[in-house]
Amino acid sequence: MWMRLLDPAHLVLLLVVVVLIFGPKRLPELGASVGKTIRMFRAHSEGKGLSEPSEPDVSGQSDPR
């Protein structure tokens, strides 16, 4: 039953719905956010926690010149 949910037609339909909801301009931002969340989850599940330095968020900062 669950294997039918991963049918390619269902995945294409899901992708179309996501594009309609979030728009094509926000998809890279959404993908980066999901990737960061997955990396954090893996780090916590392996016991590393937040002891490693993370990359600074420069998306909202202005040019210091």
* Structure confidence by residue, pLDDT tens digits, 1-36: 566 777 888 889 998 999 899 898 898 998 899 999
pLDDT surpassing 80 at residue 60: no
| Whether the model pTM is above 0.75 | no
Residue 1 forms part of a structural domain: no
Confidence of residue 62 (pLDDT cuts 50, 70, 90): low
Range of the domain at 40: 16-44
Residue 65 forms part of a structural domain: no
Residue 61 forms part of a structural domain: no
pLDDT surpassing 60 at residue 52: no
pLDDT surpassing 70 at residue 47: yes
Residue 26 forms part of a structural domain: yes
Give CA–CA dist 8/14, Å, rounded: 10
Residue 49 forms part of a structural domain: no
Which sign, positive or negative, has the C-alpha torsion 23, 32, 28, 26?
positive
Q: What is the number of domains present in the chain?
A: 1
